[in-house]
Chains A and B, each alone.
Chain A
Amino acid sequence: MPIEILMPALSPTMEEGNVSKWLKKEGDKVVAGDVIAEIETDKATMEVEAVDEGTLGKILVAEGTEGVKVNTPIAVLLEDGESAADIGKEAKAAPASTQDAISDGGQRTDAAEEGSKSAPQDAGEAPKASVPAAPATKAAADPDIPAGTAMVSTTVREALRDAMAEEMRRDGDVFVMGEEVAEYQGAYKITQGLLQEFGPRRVVDTPITEHGFAGVGVGAAMAGLRPIVEFMTFNFAMQAIDQIINSAAKTLYMSGGQMGAPIVFRGPNGAAARVAAQHSQCYAAWYSHIPGLKVVMPYTAADAKGLLKAAIRDANPVIFLENEILYGQSFDVPKMDDFVLPIGKARIHKSGKDVTIVSFGIGMTYTVKAEAELRGMGIDAEVIDLRTIRPLDFDTIIASVRKTNRLVVVEEGFPQSSVGDHIASQVSQRAFDFLDAPVITIAGKDVPMPYAANLEKLALPNVGEVVGAVKAVTYR
């Protein structure tokens, strides 16, 4: 059966070109890889290669012809034993392959390939243009804490250490790596004692090389281990953010579900005290932007413990944002053998009826103080601690807003495209009719963190701003 050689496309955006020259004549033998013609577009001249072996039976488009549409037959190739008489019989279509351009009039870059020409219209029924809805997800409820369970006052630091130690005892594939996690016992003492219990195979000191060890962690996770990668602070993780996003977060999707990265990236995030702009930034909004990641940012020690254990067991990459100032604070933690909390579930820190205040992480410290002050003024605020930033528990927020009709969001991060902005936008779309006042978002100021003590204080949110916002939305 003769093979039709079709006008090839040089890029998904090319629609037509010129046949500038035939390098083989009718009757010439060709083998795969032979250059048979040159074609030309406005950008480049390309060589056309034969893909099949045979004899060039007939040239259908003469050289010099302009405006030849892509996929038009330009020649017919005869296979062994065929003659020109076979032309016209049912032909197989086989466009030639293109070789590199040999002369060109313009620059061509890969960006030119990003055209959106779709595949030929042959593949069964075309999908409907409408976008399928995202599946609804429902977060699990917190586990019941049996009556009579002892509560132990624990610092966030100890809670995080206990969570890692318990998970490392449970699963031999769990290991921790990072700068100063082993012999130094952790730059912030979060990994204290782990080297002594688990040894250097599972508690791995790395060189100061965030991009590299984040990638090593993701590779180990792709191979099925359960790495906990500690960043001394999340500021340094910016060096590694390509591995976190492009490798860890996207591989499951790009592999069609075959291969993911069960890994935890954890460490202190946000402003500490007097460490200035490069060491004081909240990444909650950054990572919350990325499909494929889970983002956890606990406030209490109990949440830190229960959620870190959940993060280590999770099959997905989890960004676990801690805070240096919270490390030393103590909270009650239930004394249970295996206290694991659900990722994706907000916690109602205090219920109330007049206004909803949503916060997370260190933002809760302002919120809790403001709530007490507001109580003194007769305002009964409901305080929601998000705990997880992605997936975000809108069910809990919206149920609360439907009750209180007012919402204030509090966080330390920068204001533009903040977590609070996203919540405000979603609430206005999903619960507009329930709002009696605009949503107010309290965030850090839109400035790099200054060093001077007075300026630093001004750059961060404060209790007065939260109280003021609540008074504004409750029209007091």
Chain B
Amino acid sequence: MATAARKAPAKTKPRSDGKSAGLSAPKPVDFTKDEELDAYRRMLLIRRFEEKAGQLYGMGFIGGFCHLYIGQEAVVTGMKMALVDGDQMITAYRDHGHMLAMELSPRGVMAELTGRRGGLSRGKGGSMHMFSKEKHFYGGHGIVGAQVSLGTGLAFANRYRRNNNVTLTYFGDGAANQGQVYESFNMASLWKLPVIYIIENNRYAMGTSVSRSSAETDFSQRGASFKIPGIQVDGMDVRAVKAAGDLATEWCRAGKGPLILEMQTYRYRGHSMSDPAKYRSKEEVQKMRSERDPIEQVKARLLDKKWADEDELKAVDKEVRDIVADAAEFAQNDAEPDPSELWTDIVL
């Protein structure tokens, strides 16, 4: 099997020490009780939301493409916990988790998935295209790699305005092979732009494993030719992600330019809803779920430290389920866009 060469994401590897800048991956810092509960709730919301989206897709309420984020929740959650107001985020098409992390309304996201007028893009964008200026979320982009140049442009605007905000630009291990990524790296480094390139390495670009698509599989070193340091992060451990996020945002705000964080993560579901799952074994998926699940890790710590008992966690689950149920209800019953919407928002 093509993936045999790569084991489960290791804890941060010593190899990726951000050589050019002498950077090393920060040790995960223990969370406080509040942080653990916050992370638990945020990740659970994404998990339950995505499960519901999968269900609505099965019912035919959601059309077209639907790329679920299940398994990768710690990546957006830990990074969000490192942001300050005004920091921006942009990503590709596996984006529902990013939107929820940036606190876009679950109703708005779900209704966009069902193509209804109450959707964040009034039903005209769909799963891959949602935005919120207010929440500093810049999409949702369907062209692999395009968001990397766009995110670099957002960072350009921050530097132009000297506002000290940082842009999180997410892309996958697949997009990391696109040419414009490197054009963007070059400019970002040249101009010292405050952008964090977050490579979500979930090990498969659609069905092609990293080892079959990438000559250099250590994505944290992809910026080496541009003097952009990078570190590998255990993307299944929300504490490790948060610690890396703290380091990276501080780095950018200090005017040191861009940084790469390779998040070693895993997607449980298929690339999209119709995925033949021929490219990896059932056992591999099952092993990740049972041994490395980001939500279970937090849950275990909460119970271990007696910061919460089963009943309290069940109550969190109930609260999250209610939010998701409300979003799903809304998304199924909201009206489709008015036909006149066909002609709006083309030009201003």
Contacts and interface: CB of A to CB of B under 8 A. Distances in A.
Q: Do A and B come from one complex?
A: yes
Interface stretch (A19-27, A110-118, A420-428): A110-118
B183 A132 contact: no
Contacts, number: 264
A118 to B, nearest CB: 8
A291 B348 CA distance: 12
B347 A114 contact: no
Contacts of A220: 153-154, 156-157, 160
A134 interface: yes
B282 interface: yes
Contacts of A117: 60, 63
Contacts of B142: 246
Contacts of B251: none
B270 interface: yes
B115 interface: yes
A253 interface: yes
B273 A113 contact: yes
A73 interface: no
A223 B88 contact: yes
A225 B160 contact: yes
A439 interface: no
Contacts of A135: 343
Contact of B153 (A108, A218, A294): A218
Contact of B60 (A119, A242, A316): A119
A79 B335 CA distance: 31
A68 B114 CA distance: 24
B253 to A, nearest CB: 17
Contacts of A257: 122, 344-345, 348
Contacts of B151: 219
Nearest to A70: B60
A57 interface: no
Interface string B265-292: 0000111111111100010010001000
Given A114-B64, A123-B116, A212 B187 contact: yes
A113 B65 contact: yes
Chain B interface residue bracket vs A = 35 or more
Contacts of B57: 8-9
A342 to B, nearest CB: 14
Interface string A223-254: 11100000000000000001100110001111
B138 interface: yes
B146 to A, nearest CB: 6
A206 interface: yes
Nearest to B278: A104
A376 B343 CA distance: 47
B10 interface: no
A209 B152 contact: no
B47 to A, nearest CB: 8
Given A33-B51, A98-B273, A219 B59 contact: no
A32 B48 CA distance: 9
Nearest to A127: B339
Contact of A260 (B55, B124, B348): B348
Contacts of B342: 131-132
B156 A216 contact: yes
Interface string A301-322: 0000000000000011000000
Interface in A116-170: 116-120, 122-128, 131-132, 134-135
B138 A259 contact: yes
B124 A254 contact: yes
Contacts of B158: 223
B51 A215 contact: no
B125 interface: yes
B179 A211 contact: yes
Given A123-B335, A212-B184, A219 B152 contact: yes
Interface string B136-167: 00111111001011111111111010000000
Nearest to B50: A97
B66 to A, nearest CB: 8
A217 interface: yes
B269 A9 contact: no
Interface residues of A, number: 88
A101 B272 CA distance: 12
A71 interface: yes
Contacts of A247: 141, 143, 146, 150
B274 A10 contact: yes
A6 interface: yes
Contacts of B340: 132
Nearest to B134: A258
Contacts of B282: 102
B149 A9 contact: no
B338 to A, nearest CB: 8
B276 A256 contact: no
Given A96-B55, A258-B121, A122 B333 contact: yes
B276 A100 contact: yes
B186 interface: yes
Closest 5 A-B residue pairs measured CB to CB? A219-B153, A215-B149, A212-B183, A8-B58, A100-B277
Interface of A: 6, 8-12, 32-33, 43-44, 49, 51, 70-71, 93-102, 104, 107-110, 112-120, 122-128, 131-132, 134-135, 175, 201, 206-207, 209, 211-225, 242-243, 246-247, 251-260, 291-292, 294, 315-316
Interface of B: 48, 51-52, 54-55, 57-61, 63-65, 88, 90, 114-116, 119-125, 129-133, 138-143, 146, 148-158, 160, 179-180, 182-184, 186-187, 190, 269-278, 282, 285, 289, 332-336, 338-340, 342-348
18 contacts: A8-B57, A44-B276, A102-B277, A119-B61, A124-B335, A132-B342, A135-B343, A206-B187, A212-B152, A212-B182, A220-B157, A243-B150, A247-B143, A253-B346, A254-B129, A256-B345, A257-B122, A316-B347
